[in-house]
């Protein structure tokens, strides 16, 4: 009797169809385009120049320095063009050496903007770095200049790398 019951049970198991299943996949894809922008305002402010000492503004966070924020979502290089070698007041000129620095976590050493080139690496998302601008107007240059209000500028160039 026992044998007969086991046989019936076995047949019943065989009658159940095997589980049939499948699996497939597709890939979800999105591409984020490259983005950067430079924001901020304010000038390098020397105030009244000294004729008896060099007039120096440290680009790396010094008093009177100007800053800009560069935001980027990919690695970039920052350099500078159209750098004024002289501030002007009408036809008058005042020699200056513009200085640039970058803070991407801490201030780096300031250097002449004419040769400065900063490689900035993106983090996991939008990344910000601060650019600092200062300059040097020597005692001699100030002493030789005519009194007046002088100004000059430089352009910031950001390119993907």
Q: 100: buried, middle or exposed (CB in 10 Å: 19+, 13-18, 0-12)? A: buried
CA-CA distance, 118 to 4, in Å (whole number)?
A: 87
Q: Give the count of beta carbons closer than 10 Å to the beta carbon of residue 138.
A: 17
Considering the complex, what minimum distance in angstroms separates the CB of residue 3 from other proteins?
20
CA separation for the pair 61, 103 (Å, rounded):
9
Nearest distance from C-beta of residue 156 to other proteins, angstroms: 17
**Do you know the residue count of the chain?**
161
Q: Which is nearer to other proteins, 1 or 30 (CB)?
A: 30
Q: Name the residue nearer to other proteins (CB basis): 126 or 146.
A: 126
Residue 11 Cβ vs other proteins, minimum distance, rounded to whole Å: 10
> 125: which residues sit within 8 A by CB, 6+ positions away?
73
Residues in contact with other proteins by CB under 8 A are 14, 17-35, 37, 71, 73-74, 122-126
Residue placing its CB nearer to other proteins in the complex, 33 or 48: 33
Contacts of 52 by beta carbon, 8 Å cutoff, 6+ apart: 139, 143
- CB nearer to other proteins: give 34 or 151: 34
Nearer to other proteins, 77 or 153 (CB): 77
Provide, rounded to whole angstroms, the least separation between the CB of residue 71 and other proteins. Answer: 6
Nearest approach in angstroms of CB 101 to other proteins is 24
């Amino acid at each position: 009797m026992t044998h007969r019951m086991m046989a019936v049970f076995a047949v019943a198991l065989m009658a159940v169809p095997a589980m049939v299943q499948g699996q497939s996949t597709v890939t979800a894809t999105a591409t984020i385009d490259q983005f950067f922008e430079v924001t901020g305002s304010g000038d390098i402010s020397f105030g009244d120049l000294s004729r008896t000492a060099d007039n120096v503004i440290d680009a790396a966070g010094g008093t009177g320095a100007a800053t800009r924020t560069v935001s980027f979502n990919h690695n970039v290089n920052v350099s500078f063009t159209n750098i004024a070698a002289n501030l002007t007041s009408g036809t008058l000129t005042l020699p200056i050496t513009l200085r640039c620095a970058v803070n991407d976590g801490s201030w780096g050493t300031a250097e002449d903007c004419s040769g400065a080139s900063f490689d900035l690496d993106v983090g996991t998302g939008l990344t910000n770095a601060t650019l600092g601008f200062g300059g040097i107007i020597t005692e001699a240059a100030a002493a030789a200049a005519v009194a007046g209000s002088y100004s000059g500028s430089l352009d910031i160039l950001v390119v993907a790398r």
